[in-house]
Amino acid sequence: MTGTDNQSCPVCNSPDTDIFLDRRNVPVHQNLLMPDRDAARAIRRGDLRLAYCENCGFIFNTSFDPEKLSYSSDYDNNQSYSSVFHEYINDLVRGLIDARGVKNSRIVEIGCGKGYFLQKLVEDPAAGNTGIGFDPSYIGPLSCCNGRLQFQQSNFGPGMEHIPADVVICRHVIEHIPEPVVFLRSIRAALENNPHARIFFETPCVRWILENNVIWDFFYEHCSYFFANSLLAAFSRAGFCIEGIVPIFNGQYLWIEASLKETPAFTDPDGICGMARDYARDEERMLDSCSNEIIRRADVGGVALWGAAAKGVTFANLVDPDCRFVSCVVDINPNKQGHYVPGTGHPIVGPGDLARFGIRSVILMNPNYYDEVCMQLRKERIEAAVIDPARGEHCS
């Protein structure tokens, strides 16, 4: 599929970009709490028209309009109810403190949310860290841990040059930013008095999405999709030097370490353009196959999706937009239960409600949670097949 309204690449300015995914009128939010079915179906919508850059491999939504989004108090992407997620966060924190030596450091976290991650880095008395979390949507006390942890309800950027920073952390933010180089440059400028700062970023890996045909991992809130090469391009254009990029969370995310040193030039796009073209060819087949599987399973018993976050909400909107085949969507976050899926209006329920829906099939939206989901099903005495739609594996 070739776009007629090609835009130049926001990372490298190349005019050679090509649209490979085109979905009109998708819900703009995946994690907004919708109080009833009508509100859920009436959610604001926008177009997802993803292009890849042939020069650097950056993938971006050419139709993104940030004005459509509002990250209000109804926005809930809290994943901390999952023990798998806890373990993952703890591993990241231990990795920073023990392996990367983040000790006795003044830490700045950009987009700190409720401050959960930063608190873990600061509260370990042996590490001796202090922290300042920045997030315009932060709600909570502005100081805790005896003043060693502070929060500012603002962005980190120009005007913050006086803030000492040995370590800067920014997790799951840059994929929401339509002009990532501008964003990185503003961080770089705010660090001018901290030339030795170490910078750590985390973002989803688009290579994982493309390789596994995860059609429900492209959605409106994410307007920028990276892999190693486009990260190198973006960071180097902003004046950072990438010291390392490693895949984490079974390849779903990338962990980036950067410094403020001079940077070498970046290399070729590393096959991502070919992968995006393959994805465009395979997407319809993948969607058909998922839809057929759901229809077939709905014929013999209730079907539930597991996970009402971005992946599950996107999947529901793709395979069952009119709420005909999927009975409900399960989420262990109690704040989501009793609400409805943005766009489709599927009810969001807890594991304890599954028996009521006669569920025989559970579609797992993230394979990393497989063991945890099976355990919850056993606990509720639900006998259901657990299906990973990306691999078509069925496990009971």
Contacts with Zn ion, residue ranges (CB under 5 A) = 9, 11-12, 14, 53, 55-56, 58
What DSSP string runs through 233-261?
A: HHHHHTT-EEEEEEEETTTTEEEEEEESS
Residue closer to Zn ion by CB (options 72, 267) is: 267
Residue closer to Zn ion by CB (options 137, 263) is: 263
HEC per residue, 221-233: CCCEEECHHHHHH
What's the number of CA atoms in the CB half-sphere (13 Å) around residue 354?
27
Contact 385, 394 (CB under 8 A): yes
Reduced to 3 states (helix: H, G, I; strand: E, B; else coil), residue 326 is coil
Contact 125, 148 (CB under 8 A): no
* Distances from the Cα of 368 to the Cα of 83, 303, 352, 373, angstroms: 11, 20, 21, 10
Contact 103, 129 (CB under 8 A): yes
Residue closer to Zn ion by CB (options 14, 337) is: 14
Residue closer to Zn ion by CB (options 230, 327) is: 230
Work out the burial of residue 38: count CB atoms within 10 Å of its CB; fewer than 13 is exposed, 13-18 middle, 19 or more buried: exposed
| Smallest distance from Zn ion to CB 179, Å | 13
| Smallest distance from Zn ion to CB 57, Å | 7
End-to-end CA distance of the chain: 39
Tokens linked to 191: 């660090």
| Smallest distance from Zn ion to CB 58, Å | 5
Residue closer to Zn ion by CB (options 169, 228) is: 228
| Smallest distance from Zn ion to CB 10, Å | 8
Give the span between the Cα atoms of 216 and 195, in whole angstroms. 40
Residue closer to Zn ion by CB (options 14, 289) is: 14
Tokens linked to 70: 């509002």
| Smallest distance from Zn ion to CB 268, Å | 12
| Smallest distance from Zn ion to CB 233, Å | 6
| Smallest distance from Zn ion to CB 14, Å | 5
Contact 214, 390 (CB under 8 A): yes
Residue closer to Zn ion by CB (options 53, 290) is: 53
